[in-house]
Structure 1
Amino acid sequence: MEENHSKIGYSFSDPSLESLAYTHASCNADHGDNQRLEFLGDAALDLIIADALYHRLPAQDEGALDRTRASLVNGRSLAAKAKELDLGAHIRVSESQRRHHPEPSESMLEDALEALIGAIYLDGGLKATRDFVSRIFKNELESIEASSDQRNPKSELQEWAQKHCAGALPEYTLVRSEGPDHKRRYTASVQLEGKPIGKGEGSSIKVAEMAAAEIALEAIEKNA
């Protein structure tokens, strides 16, 4: 497997784990196949991407985070990542499977990548797995963060208010803060012309106000 280390950027302490990650169920091998590793890798991948999005997109709610994660971690994108890493050249299948399907399917590539992630987790732990996933999804995560930074719900709400409410400006109020200092949660509300139009929560007052503005904009769009 040495020739693939430069592509995946990780060197296994236990090479048998990497070998297992590339072993398709059709092999019926005595040492098993990659299905259990795929299960583990799928869970690890979801956790790492969810954690990255949680910290990179503080103004997004649960639903938005879930949709963003789904856009990153799906069969097509994982198969594409597997191709970038040239995993298809290392997947082992039975002779019968190879005769009928000379090239690995998208599903096989996806499974191999998830199994590889599971193997890295078992071999090197969570940090090594996070480093690997963060590296192969680096461009996508940076692009999402950049596009999120460009959108400012508070500015959008202010522009809408100036256009539709005779120049009135949104006003933000801190409703409450709770929890220990290292894990404090803030709730903010936004009013327009004295009427509450949105309430949001976040890990800082700024994030809570952004969330309140986002909810207000969603309500305005829904009622338009």
Structure 2
Amino acid sequence: MHTSKQVFEPISRHSFQDESLLKLALTHSSCDRPEGDNQRLEFLGDAVLDLVIAETLYHKFPQANEGALDRCRASLVNGKSLARIARKHHLGKYLEVGEAHRQHHADPSHAMLEDALEALIGAVFLDGGLECARQTIQHLFGEPINAIEVSAGSQNPKGQLQEWSQKHYHGVVPEYRELPAEGPDHDRHYSAAVFLAGKELGRGTGSSKKAAEANAAHVALKALE
């Protein structure tokens, strides 16, 4: 009895039953092959990504309204964010591109990487179903999802700073780092620093880690003004 061999794809961390779906996801339209390219899979993957991210944010922020959730989702799935994740996982080196196109463009464009990443998600969904696609998305988007904060206007400096960074730093999410705490256990003072694209923007202290991060964001906003 013949059994098909599963193919493990390291970027998605999915073992493909149908290897042709993986090949199709990594085939750019410039290849002009009879079996097609990744555009249809990109269309499907875009919808699956939107659904999983929306579901994740819905559970992560139970008090957030529709507008706040929509802004969070947009910051996670915008083109620059997708291209950054694709580059981080070196997706470009696996993307098959037509020779004529490669002669004029040695490296894949942002748009090509965005499409390939969504096509890969679409291929995982067709091959393994929604749960497999969810696991792939959680793997790829885990860090930015963990870092994201809901904006609640002037009462939430972390949200304000995130909105600023999305506008001026192409969707890059601020990173908060804990600094050594001071004081006895019953009266601890926590400290945190906030970084954007590797550059420190401000430091803050507070009676909790969350308060320290909020104060660091407030200092950063003042500096940016």
Query: How high is the TM-score relative to the length of structure 1?
Result: 0.62
Other-structure match for 1:15:
19
Q: How far 1:145 sits from its partner (Å)?
A: 5.7
The answer to whether 1:56 aligns with 2:60 is yes
C-alpha separation between the residues in 2 aligned to 1:102 and 1:31? Answer: 24
C-alpha separation between the residues in 1 aligned to 2:41 and 2:133? Answer: 13
Instruction: Map residues 1-224 of structure 1 onto 2, 5 A cutoff.
Output: 5-144=9-148
- CA deviation vs aligned residue, 1:18-42 (integer Å, no higher than 9, x gap): 1000111111101000000000000
- CA deviation vs aligned residue, 1:160-180 (integer Å, no higher than 9, x gap): xxxxxxxxxxxxxxxxxxxxx
Work out whether residues 45 and 133 of structure 1, in 8 Å CA contact, stay in contact via their aligned partners in 2: yes
Q: How far 1:11 sits from its partner (Å)?
A: 1.5
Q: How far 1:3 sits from its partner (Å)?
A: 9.4
Work out whether residues 56 and 145 of structure 1, in 8 Å CA contact, stay in contact via their aligned partners in 2: no
Answer with 1 or 2: which has the greater Rg.
Answer: 1
AA partner of residue 53 (structure 1): L
C-alpha separation between the residues in 2 aligned to 1:79 and 1:123? Answer: 23
Q: How far 1:146 sits from its partner (Å)?
A: 9.3
C-alpha separation between the residues in 2 aligned to 1:20 and 1:6? Answer: 16
Q: How far 1:144 sits from its partner (Å)?
A: 2.2
AA partner of residue 138 (structure 2): S
**Which has the larger helix fraction?**
1
* 4+ aligned runs moved over 2 Å, structure 1: 2-8, 144-148
Aligned residues: 149
- CA deviation vs aligned residue, 1:44-86 (integer Å, no higher than 9, x gap): 0000000000110111111111011001111111011111221
Using the aligned pairs only, state the percent identity: 54
Q: RMSD of aligned C-alpha atoms?
A: 2.2
- CA deviation vs aligned residue, 1:173-197 (integer Å, no higher than 9, x gap): xxxxxxxxxxxxxxxxxxxxxxxxx
CA distance 1:146–1:71, change in 2 (3 Å): closer
Work out whether residues 23 and 93 of structure 1, in 8 Å CA contact, stay in contact via their aligned partners in 2: yes
Work out whether residues 8 and 16 of structure 2, in 8 Å CA contact, stay in contact via their aligned partners in 1: no
C-alpha separation between the residues in 2 aligned to 1:26 and 1:97? Answer: 7
- Structure 2: which 5+ residue stretches go unaligned? 1-5, 157-225
